[in-house]
């Protein structure tokens, strides 16, 4: 999914390849490693003159502008702009909550004017309200504010562990208020050099401090409470597993006396994990985070979990508490899924402090008789904090000009607020229909049938044809049986051992009503919000890993892909060779005297010779398995009698 944060903020994105960090990606003269002390303090000289023969490409996204060598344009993926916009929106709301407890108000560009329109206050009324509010405050009690681009001494300390070009860190500095510092780290010396130049280009050297180090070692060095980061953003090119242990130790603790969470962590997850399924991928990442945190008497609380495009992204809070850690086992579950009809059952590992009994299924599926596959463990609790999601949605909706992808953020978050929080997984319309080989009902018809039957149903932000419902699988298949009666399937074409035959051979106990209900159409769908990504460009998806060869290496890779495309498929047969091969087979219809094609028939119309007839005459004796074995060169194919 395509395309996880820990609160304290932990941000992690998983994509389609596995690597510890990003490889070097610039062409040019080799450069020595910077001084670690200088890099830690952000004092390495930036903005050094580059050789004139190196051509650069400049990209503007949000309020940031980055430059990188033209030979490595694969390094910037515009499809990920939604990912970065959403991260800025989430961190902004976290900063608002955190700093409000300290009496600090954040100023977001464009937010004040929009609030005037929403509240519908005249200028005079607003001035009166401000004067009244100021009169109630003592001269020394004036509210403190934190603006974008300014250092807030009590603000958030942010770490981007795998910064690459530094685009995300620079956007934090230029778009998120209430920050104390942003550490842009990368293990590549060339990447750090590029970060330095981009920091100078955007004028944020006072906030963004480049650092060259292994991301894991850097986080391990900040395990002390006073040195922990408030926000950790991890966006690895591949699995986040190597970074989770260090991240849950380096993110700051929740503030117990104020009840305000202090830290956030966000990981991303790649396409290989998305192959499991969108909801399972999200929940496997959350389980992995909680499992690593439990080792240090910490636990995670999800804020927002997104499955989008080719990655998944989770935002979680991290707390410390021995009693709560003991309850973490009851938040995990295994999933039993039928290989025939796709029906799934969850089995929790623990119920309170007692081991659960199971399994919840028989050796064979009760609906189709097929076996079950075991998956997990995965997170079985809600994956969103709906109050926090509502805050982010309101902020983006009232200030739509802040992000280029605000429309999509509104759509995705609106669907999340409509999801059933206590239903972990979902079915899809096409999967239900293809199982019994019937036509697909409309989304509103199936949702209406479930609502008429007294069950809850919702969509999922991870899939546009998803059906999330608390209905048992038996009721769901009864509804599909009723639908099949309205659109009958030819039973004679079904194998008696197929899931479709076994499911349809049972009469439904529940009589479904497919009359469309008004509440079957969710609000986000009625308003026409942009809930799912349209193809933004040709060949979009996860970009290849940046390579030292630059553009030349990328072109060579594209050529190899073109040559290897469909290599596992059989090459197309030459028409002349195919015609000659078919002419070696006699025509059945010609033997019966019913072939009307004449010379145009693709099979042979020549009469068999006496030798062929003698060979075709069966012997009188009983046949044995070893009599007249076919030779290795005997032709077989269509038309053979």
Backbone angles phi, psi at 151, to 5 degrees: -80, 125
Indicate if the alpha-carbon torsion angle 624, 625, 631, 636 is positive or negative: positive
For the ranges 61-75, 403-417, 550-564, 600-614, the maximum mean pLDDT occurs at: 403-417
User: Edge-to-edge, what's the strand order for the sheet holding 344-348?
Assistant: 344-348, 332-338, 372-379
314 lies in some domain: yes
Q: How many distinct structural domains can be found in the chain? A: 1
| Distances in whole angstroms, Cα of residue 637 to Cα of each of 22, 178, 523, 584 | 54, 75, 58, 10
426 lies in some domain: no
Half-sphere exposure of 629 (CA within 13 A, CB side): 4
Mean pLDDT (the chain, rounded): 78
219 lies in some domain: yes
Q: Could you identify the residue written with the tokens 């344009």?
A: 73
> How confident is residue 258, by pLDDT bands cut at 50, 70 and 90?
very low
Give the residue-averaged pLDDT of 473-496.
Answer: 91
pLDDT, one tens digit per residue, over 309-334 is 878 889 999 999 888 888 888 899 99
491 lies in some domain: no
pLDDT of residue 77: 79
392 lies in some domain: no
Taking alpha carbons only, the member of 279, 172, 286, 313 closest to residue 229 is: 172
Give the residue-averaged pLDDT of 81-110.
Answer: 92
What percentage of the chain exceeds 90 in pLDDT?
43
413's torsion region: left (phi>0), alpha (psi -120 to 50) or beta?
alpha
Strands (E), 247-355: 264-266, 268-269, 298-306, 312-320, 332-338, 344-348, 350-351, 354-355
90 lies in some domain: yes
Helix spans in 203-277 (H): 215-220, 241-250, 271-274
pLDDT, one tens digit per residue, over 26-51 is 333 333 334 444 444 444 445 444 54
pLDDT, one tens digit per residue, over 269-300 is 543 333 346 778 889 999 999 999 999 999 99
pLDDT of residue 550: 52
pLDDT, one tens digit per residue, over 133-154 is 444 444 455 678 999 999 999 9
pLDDT of residue 600: 85
CA 147 from centroid of its chain's CA atoms: 32
Task: Determine how many CB atoms are found less than 10 A away from the CB of residue 551.
Answer: 15
47 lies in some domain: no
442 lies in some domain: no
pLDDT of residue 398: 93
Task: Write the CATH number for 219.
Answer: 3.40.50.150
pLDDT of residue 308: 84
The residues, ordered by sequence, that sit 6+ positions from 50 with a Cβ below 8 Å of its Cβ are 28, 56, 197
- Give the per-residue SS3 of 547-613: CCCCHHHHHHHHHHHHHHCCCCCCCCCCHHHHHHHHCCCECHHHHHCCCCCHHHCCCECCCCCHHHH
The pTM (predicted TM-score) of the whole model is 0.74
Domain span at 264: 9-23+80-121+143-320
pLDDT of residue 14: 46
Compute the distance between CA of residue 300 and CA of residue 248 in angstroms, rounded to an integer.
Answer: 9
Residue 641 has pLDDT above 80, yes or no: no
* Pair of tokens at residue 185: 């780290």
Backbone angles phi, psi at 418, to 5 degrees: -95, -10
pLDDT of residue 213: 95
Residue 470 has pLDDT above 90, yes or no: yes
Taking alpha carbons only, the member of 532, 478, 536 closest to residue 508 is: 478
**Residues 326, 330, 335, CA angle at the centre, nearest 5°?**
145
Give the residue-averaged pLDDT of 537-550.
Answer: 59
Residue 229 has pLDDT above 50, yes or no: yes
Residue 128 has pLDDT above 90, yes or no: no
Taking alpha carbons only, the member of 384, 387, 388 closest to residue 302 is: 384
Residue 245 has pLDDT above 60, yes or no: yes
What percentage of the chain exceeds 70 in pLDDT?
71
- Helical axes 189-202 vs 167-175, angle rounded to 10°: 30
| Distances in whole angstroms, Cα of residue 492 to Cα of each of 253, 532, 535 | 64, 39, 41
Compute the distance between CA of residue 461 and CA of residue 456 in angstroms, rounded to an integer.
Answer: 17
pLDDT, one tens digit per residue, over 490-533 is 888 888 889 999 999 999 999 999 999 999 999 998 888 887 77
Taking alpha carbons only, the member of 254, 252, 203, 275 closest to residue 15 is: 275
- Provide DSSP, 181-209: EEEEEES-HHHHHHHHHHHHHHT-TTTEE
Task: Determine how many CB atoms are found less than 10 A away from the CB of residue 498.
Answer: 18
pLDDT, one tens digit per residue, over 561-620 is 777 776 666 667 788 888 888 888 998 888 888 888 888 898 888 876 555 545 444 444
Do the beta carbons of residue 19 and residue 325 sit within 8 Å?
Answer: no
pLDDT of residue 573: 75
> How confident is residue 198, by pLDDT bands cut at 50, 70 and 90?
very high
Do the beta carbons of residue 178 and residue 88 sit within 8 Å?
Answer: no
* Pair of tokens at residue 235: 């966006």
The residues, ordered by sequence, that sit 6+ positions from 105 with a Cβ below 8 Å of its Cβ are 99, 143, 144, 145, 146
Taking alpha carbons only, the member of 48, 96, 248 closest to residue 161 is: 248
- Provide DSSP, 5-33: --SSEEEEE--SS--SSPPP---SS--PP
> How confident is residue 267, by pLDDT bands cut at 50, 70 and 90?
low
Do the beta carbons of residue 205 and residue 42 sit within 8 Å?
Answer: yes
pLDDT of residue 176: 94
Q: Residue 39 is inside which H or E element, if any?
A: helix 36-41
| Distances in whole angstroms, Cα of residue 619 to Cα of each of 327, 454, 613, 628 | 79, 71, 12, 10
Which value, to the nearest 10 degrees, does the dihedral of the CA atoms of residues 295, 296, 297, 300 take?
A: -80
């Amino acid at each position: 999914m395509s395309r996880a944060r820990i609160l304290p903020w932990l941000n992690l994105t998983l994509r389609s390849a596995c690597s510890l960090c990003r490889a070097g990606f610039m062409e040019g003269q080799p450069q020595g490693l910077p001084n670690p002390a200088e890099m830690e303090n952000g004092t390495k000289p930036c903005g050094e003159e580059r050789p004139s023969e190196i051509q650069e490409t400049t990209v503007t996204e949000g309020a940031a502008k980055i430059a990188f060598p033209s030979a490595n344009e694969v390094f910037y993926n515009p499809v990920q702009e939604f990912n970065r916009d959403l991260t800025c929106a989430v961190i902004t709301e976290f900063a608002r909550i955190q700093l409000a407890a300290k009496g600090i108000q954040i100023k977001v560009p464009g937010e004040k004017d929009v609030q005037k329109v929403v509240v519908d206050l005249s200028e005079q009324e607003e001035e009166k309200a401000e004067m009244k509010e100021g009169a109630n405050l003592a001269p020394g009690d004036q509210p403190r504010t934190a603006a974008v681009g300014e250092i807030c001494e009590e603000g958030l300390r942010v770490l981007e562990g795998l910064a690459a070009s530094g685009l995300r860190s620079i956007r934090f500095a230029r778009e998120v208020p209430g920050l104390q510092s942003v550490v842009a780290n990368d293990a590549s010396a060339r990447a750090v050099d590029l970060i330095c130049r981009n920091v100078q280009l955007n004028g944020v050297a006072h906030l963004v401090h480049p650092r060259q180090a292994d991301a894991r070692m850097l986080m391990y060095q900040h395990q002390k409470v006073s040195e922990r980061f408030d926000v950790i953003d991890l966006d690895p090119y591949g699995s986040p597993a190597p970074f989770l242990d260090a991240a849950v130790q380096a993110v700051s603790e929740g503030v117990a006396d104020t009840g305000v969470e202090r830290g956030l962590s966000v990981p991303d997850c790649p396409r290989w994990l998305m192959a499991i399924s969108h909801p399972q991928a999200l929940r496997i990442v959350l389980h992995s985070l909680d499992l690593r945190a439990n080792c240090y008497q910490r636990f995670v609380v999800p804020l927002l979990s997104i499955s989008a495009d080719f990655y998944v992204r989770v935002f979680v809070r991290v707390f410390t508490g021995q009693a709560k850690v003991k309850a973490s086992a009851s938040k995990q579950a295994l999933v039993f899924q039928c290989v025939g009809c796709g029906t799934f059952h969850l089995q929790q590992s623990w119920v309170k402090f007692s081991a659960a009994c199971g399994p919840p299924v028989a050796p064979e599926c009760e609906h189709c008789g097929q076996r079950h596959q075991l998956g997990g463990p995965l997170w079985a609790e809600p994956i969103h904090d709906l109050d926090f999601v509502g805050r982010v949605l309101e902020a983006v909706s009232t200030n739509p000009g802040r992000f280029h992808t605000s429309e999509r953020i509104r759509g995705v978050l609106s669907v999340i607020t409509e999801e059933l929080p206590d239903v972990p997984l979902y079915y899809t319309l096409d999967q239900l229909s293809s199982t019994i080989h019937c036509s697909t009902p409309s989304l509103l018809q199936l949702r209406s049938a479930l609502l008429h039957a007294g069950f809850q149903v919702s969509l999922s932000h991870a899939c546009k044809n998803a059906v999330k419902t608390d209905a048992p699988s038996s009721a769901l298949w009864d509804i599909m049986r009723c639908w099949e009666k309205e659109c009958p399937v030819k039973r004679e074409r079904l194998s008696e051992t197929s899931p479709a035959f076994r499911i349809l051979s049972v009469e439904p106990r529940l009589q479904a009503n497919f009359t469309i209900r008004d509440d079957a159409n969710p609000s986000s769908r009625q308003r026409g919000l942009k809930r799912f990504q349209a193809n933004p460009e040709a060949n979009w998806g996860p970009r290849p890993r940046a390579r030292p060869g630059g553009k030349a290496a990328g072109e060579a890779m594209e050529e190899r892909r073109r040559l290897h495309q469909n290599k596992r498929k059989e090459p197309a047969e030459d028409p002349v060779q195919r015609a000659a091969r078919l002419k070696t087979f006699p025509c059945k219809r010609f033997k019966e005297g019913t072939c009307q094609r004449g010379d145009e028939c693709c099979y042979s119309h020549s009469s068999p010779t006496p030798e062929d007839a003698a060979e075709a005459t069966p012997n009188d004796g009983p046949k044995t398995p070893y009599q007249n074995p076919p030779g290795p060169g005997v032709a077989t194919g269509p038309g053979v009698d």
